[in-house]
Amino acid sequence: MRVAMIGATGLIGRQLWPLLERRHDLLVLGRRPSGAVQEKLGAMADWPGLLAGHAVDVAISTLGTTRKAAGSWAAFEAVDRHAVLAFAAAARKAGGHQFLIVSSSGADAGSRNAYLRLKGEVEEAIAALGFERVDVLRPGLLLGQRSERRIGEGVGQLLSPLLNRLLVGSLDRYAGIDAGLVATAMAALVERREPGLFRHHNREIRALAA
């Protein structure tokens, strides 16, 4: 498969791209080196242009930041909405028939929470681009060693073993989950052919990674 990917230096992405590179023809687009064999670097606004001339079967986004890390809501939206959708549109134009994206548990275009609303709106916008198959992964709190400090998530990771015992049944989707499992699940989904829109929460992600 010819796979194009953004977000390869993040918590999930840096564990995903080596899995993809073993089985597929992978092209990584990014702002800084990831270590992938085929890689094109540039500003986020340049990524659609960097993809021009490449044929794509599957496109993947593990790109994401936080409002605090970005510095403002506008800067956050530039990453989590505009960069992702511009890449998705370019991948579709390049022939992509499948798109995989890491979203968030609780994502909902009708949510009162601005973060969850944005995530839901991005999911809907990608689904409207015409891909034959869209896989949306909605993990709970991501567990793993980040390259940057996120104090809130750090506290959440420390409390995760206790919280996970309480988050059972339908609440399991909000529990902590290892980023490596999400990466493994995404690599498995690249092999899927059934058309449609599929949303995968913690329980489905663990099953895919098994």
Question: For residue 21, which of 52, 50, 60, 74 has the smallest C-alpha distance?
Answer: 60
Catalytic member of 40, 93, 119, 174: 119
Look up residue 45 and give its two tokens.
Answer: 């606004």
Q: If you ran DSSP here, which 8-state letter would residue 174 be given?
A: G
| Amino acid (one-letter) located at 104 | S
Measured CA distances, 35 to 5, 30, 38, 44 (Å): 13, 11, 9, 18
Catalytic member of 68, 93, 115, 174: 115
Is 115 a known active-site residue? yes
Q: Which residue do the tokens 């993947």 mark?
A: 60
Look up residue 10 and give its two tokens.
Answer: 């993040």
Alpha-carbon span 161 to 115, nearest angstrom: 25
Q: What would the DSSP string read from start to end of 44-79?
A: GGGHHHHHTT---SEEEE-----HHHHSSHHHHHII
Are 190 and 25 in contact by the 8 Å Cβ rule? The answer is no
Q: Which residue do the tokens 């800084």 mark?
A: 32
Q: End-to-end distance of the chain based on CA atoms, in angstroms?
A: 22
Q: Which residues belong to the active site?
A: 115, 119
